[in-house]
Chain A
Amino acid sequence: MHDILLAVQEAGELKDGLSSIGAGIAYGAAAIGPGIGIGIVVGNAITAMARQPEMSGPIRTTMFLGIAFTEALALFGFVLFFLAKG
């Protein structure tokens, strides 16, 4: 009886541990794409600003919008991390 209880408890712990690992991997994977994406967005925005400094204002606004949309994916991953970890 005691052994069975112990096994159930271990199974539960195993499930917790695995879900934590899964959540961690999910977040890490979710951060890769947006990381690259934000780099591209900001890099191109800087190039544009350097070429046409007089257009800096609209470019900056658009850059923030682009960052926001790209970043959303990483943040979905972040939230998913908490949901999966439970």
Chain B
Amino acid sequence: MLLAAFEFPHIDELFRWKGLFFGDTAYEINKTSLLVLISSVMILLIFVGGSRRMRLIPTKLQSILEMTFEFIDHGITRDVVGKDAGRFTPFLGSLFLFILFLNFWEIVPFIQFPPTARFAIPLYLALQTYFIYWYLGFRHNGYRYLTGHLFPAGVPKALYILVTPIELVQIVIVRPFSLAVRLLANMMAGHILLTALALLTAYALENAPIIAIGPFLLNVGVTGFELLVGFLQAYIFTLLTAVYIADSIHPDH
């Protein structure tokens, strides 16, 4: 076994980064925070700059911005939340773009690290969604929001012993946790996979160059796949947020 001596680095080396600025304070900036800030500046530059002068006959950039808007506004907000739910488009659109840009750092050469693979970002975004849908639920439906979920209509009374705890755990813990973990774990797994294949290629190149073509081609393929995953996870996170918001506003549907 030529590759028997290959040793994978400790997991911390893949995800934990030294502080760059403001070391050892709560405002310490490490690679993750830096990428998050760069992403938000990029989003702002593209979208605010691009929408500064809108024309009747769109330029290419304007078309892209409009397609993004339509994708969120029609594909997610109006389809899932409701026809008159246009007021949620700014939030859902910003959420989608934010996650999308962060996810795509995974396959940017020399950066190759998705900040969403750190629990901080998915956790924050999921908690944000969590508070928003609780707030909307109580604002639109009062206490019936909670009782409607805990004691669903059409279920035999005896089953409430079973259904109510499950529903409670579902809306209080499972929803935000699965939302955060889905994004985190997908990006984390992708990052580990890419790192493993890259390291394997480098190791094989040193010891048995002919074998290196295998992991290399695999790496290229997985990189393309991660592009899809990055988009899909941003879409699913936004879609689920929309579904939860819709559930809070019209709990009967």
Residues of A near any B CB (own CB < 8 A): 58, 61, 64-65, 68-69, 71-72, 75-76, 78-79, 82
* Contact B178 A76, beta carbon cutoff 8 Å: yes
Contacts of A68 in B (CB 8 A): 182, 236, 239-240
Nearest residue (CB) in B for A71 is: B182
The A-B contact count (CB < 8 A) is: 37
A72 to B80, alpha carbons, bound, how many Å? 21
Q: Which of B80, B181, B189 contacts A76 (CB 8 A)?
A: B181
Decide if B11 is an interface residue (CB 8 Å cutoff). yes
Residues of B near any A CB (own CB < 8 A): 11, 75, 79-80, 178, 181-182, 184-186, 188-189, 232, 235-236, 239-240, 243
Beyond the given pairs A68-B236, A75-B178, 4 more chain A to chain B contacts, judged by CB atoms under 8 angstroms and listed by A's residue number, are A64-B232, A65-B240, A75-B181, A75-B182
Taking chain B's interface residues, is the majority helix, strand, or loop, or is none over half, making it mixed?
helix
25 pairs of residues in contact across A and B, judged by CB atoms under 8 Å: A58-B79, A61-B75, A61-B79, A61-B239, A64-B232, A64-B236, A64-B239, A65-B236, A65-B243, A68-B239, A69-B178, A71-B182, A72-B178, A72-B182, A75-B182, A75-B184, A75-B185, A75-B186, A76-B178, A76-B181, A78-B185, A78-B188, A79-B181, A79-B185, A82-B11
Contacts of A75 in B (CB 8 A): 178, 181-182, 184-186
Shortest beta-carbon distance from A20 to chain B in Å: 12
Contacts of B243 in A (CB 8 A): 65
Contacts of B239 in A (CB 8 A): 61, 64-65, 68
Contacts of A65 in B (CB 8 A): 236, 239-240, 243
* Contact A78 B189, beta carbon cutoff 8 Å: yes
* Contact B181 A64, beta carbon cutoff 8 Å: no
* Known A75-B181, A76-B181: A64·B189 in contact at CB below 8 Å: no
Contacts of B178 in A (CB 8 A): 69, 72, 75-76
Contacts of B189 in A (CB 8 A): 78
Instruction: State the 4 A-B residue pairs at the shortest beta-carbon distance, nearest first.
Output: A75-B185, A72-B178, A78-B185, A68-B236
